[in-house]
Structure 1
Amino acid sequence: MAKLFIEQAKQYAKTRPCYPQELFEFIASKTPSRDLVWDVGTGSGQAACSLAGIYKNVIGTDTSLEQLEFAPKLPNVRYQQTSPVISMGELEQTVSTQSSVDLVTVAQAMHWFDLPAFYQQVKWVLKKPHGVIAAWCYTVPEVNDSVDSVFNPFYTVDSDPYWEPQRKLVDDKFMTIDFPFEPVEGTDNTGPFKFVAEKMMDLDDYFTYIRSWSAYQTAKAKGVELLRDDVIESFKRAWIKDGQNQKVVKFPVHVKIGKVGNV
């Protein structure tokens, strides 16, 4: 499904929220060693950059070269374009060898994966028994009552026909996603555990965020403009109601986390 993001790669890099540091500290506290991370579906590198401040080395992989071009370059991060379906041979060649990775992360991407095949790779590459996988998604933004009252029907009614079925896993906060891993130390389940990402946005940024949706691109390809003039005007009235153009936009983040055990 990476092709859905190629056209709007620049918008996606600009408007995707930066995940809170508390999320990475929580994940890092569950990994006994911090040598190597595989960030799968790294996109434009938001998670990889934060991980690079905690772990010695990060490998960020993605099928989209267009998105990787917008990823910040850091000395301990290596970005790698991969095939949509990675063989075990490609995994060993481009990522790492068996039982050598401390942490596998997936930010806002796991709902696109062939999960049985992906989990087989995760269990092969993670260190046993304490290698950790953390996968998270962020759900719809929260601004204030005025803006959210316009956004909610726009999202649930107007845009709904143009989302891929996998989007339902995100709407469900990954609660219904298959996740065959053991709880990490200090937890009695694999989550999801909630965090909140915040991003300062003006109205133009907010519209750019909407235009970065795969659903927006799908609708556009079908000749449907989701941000019609009347919709834009409704958002404008709601946005300027408090007199502030710059607003803190909150994105709830829901993380599933588990360890590989002795598989």
Structure 2
Amino acid sequence: MAELFIKQAKQYAQTRPSYPPELFQFIASHAPHHNLAWDVGTGSGQAARSLAGIYKNVIATDTSPKQLEYASKLPNIRYQCTSPIMSFSELEQNVAKQSSVDLVTIAQAIHWFDLPKFYQQVKWVLKKPHGVIAAWCYTVPQVNDSVDAVFQPFYTVDCEPYWEPQRKMVDEKYISIDFPFEAVDGKENTGPFEFVIEKLMDLDTYFTYLRSWSAYQTAKDKGVELLADNVVENFKRAWNENGHSQKVVRYPIYLRIGKVGNNN
């Protein structure tokens, strides 16, 4: 997974949206303790940065040292580059001891994981009972009718051959993802629960965001330029239709959240 984002790590850090405070408040309200959080697949640390304002300490891991170069440095965040699959001894050495973590978060990344093995690790590090796991994804950006009408065929036709199969789980809003945890207190199920990100962008930033996609890089490696001149012109025409250079771009977020019990 990490190699899909190495070449565009800088664009990824610059344009990937931060997550809304409401998301972290919701998660924290269902986690009894706020001492230690583990942010897995942290990338350039968007989620870790927000967790650091709530949790006493955050351990943020990623398999890509290039991504971690661009992560926000805060005194209570420890960044750690790890192998894709750690042994339990490596987990204890690089992340945390058994039953010591209050919260595990995975932002826009769990669809890349070997889930059975990862869930074993999650259940090993989380406090029992009531340690919480929260995994979320955001789906495609929404701007307005004109821009979205250009975006849809770009996403569903032009980019489709270059997405990895795991992308389907994001398109399905994590509904289909295996998530073997109990509902947190006060909820009847593990979701998905919906939130929204809003980010102000100009067209150049929007293009930089599209170029940060793994599908864009995969196509480029195969000699295909997805943002060809005619596609760029179509986006420009739609973007400039109302004369405003900056627009609010919305990303729907879908959260799965659960807890471990004594029997997990």
Under a length normalisation based on structure 2, what TM-score does the superposition of the two structures give? 0.99
| Residue segments in structure 1 that go unaligned for 5+ positions in a row | none
Matches of 1:229 and 1:107, distance apart in 2: 33
- In the alignment, does 2:185 pair up with 1:181? no
Question: What residue identity is the alignment partner of 2:137?
Answer: C
- Partner deviation per Cα, 1:32-63 (whole Å, 9 max, x = no partner): 11000000000000000000000000000000
Aligned to 2:244: 244
Confirm or deny that 1:118 pairs with 2:118.
yes
Deviation digits for residues 64-87 of structure 1 (CA, Å, limit 9, x no counterpart): 000101001001000000011111
The corresponding residue for 2:37 is: 37
Structure 2 match to 1:190: 190
Measure how far apart 1:186 and its partner are. Answer: 1.0
- Residue 70 (1) aligns with residue 54 (2): no
What is the match of residue 146 of structure 1? 146
Amino acid at match of 2:75: P
The one-letter code sitting in structure 2 at the alignment partner of 1:63 is T
Could you list the runs of 5+ residues in structure 2 that have no partner in the other structure? none
Segments of 4+ moved more than 6 angstroms? none
Deviation of 1:17 after TM superposition, in Å, equals: 0.5
Offset at 1:232? 0.3
The number of residue pairs the alignment matches comes to: 263
Provide the rounded CA distance (Å) in 2 between the counterparts of 1:86 and 1:246.
Answer: 44
Normalising by structure 1, we get a TM-score of 0.99
Counterparts of 1:45-84 in structure 2 under 5 Å? Answer: 45-84=45-84
Output the aligned Cα RMSD: 0.4
The corresponding residue for 1:94 is 94
The residue aligned with 1:131 is: 131
- Once residues 73 and 204 of structure 2 are traced to their aligned partners in structure 1, the CA distance between those partners, rounded to angstroms, is 27
Query: Residue 218 of structure 1 corresponds to which residue in structure 2?
Result: 218
State the SS of the aligned residue for 2:208.
helix
> Residue 133 of structure 1 aligns to a residue in which SS?
strand
2:244 pairs with 1:234: no
**What is the identity, as a one-letter code, of the residue corresponding to 1:181?**
F
**Distance across 2 between alignment mates of 1:146 and 1:86:** 46
1:170 matched to 2:170: yes
* Identity within the alignment, %: 75
Give the whole-Å Cα distance in 1 for the aligned partners of 2:250 and 2:225: 25
Query: Secondary structure of 2:106's match?
Result: strand
Q: Distance in 1 between matches of 2:89 and 2:247?
A: 47
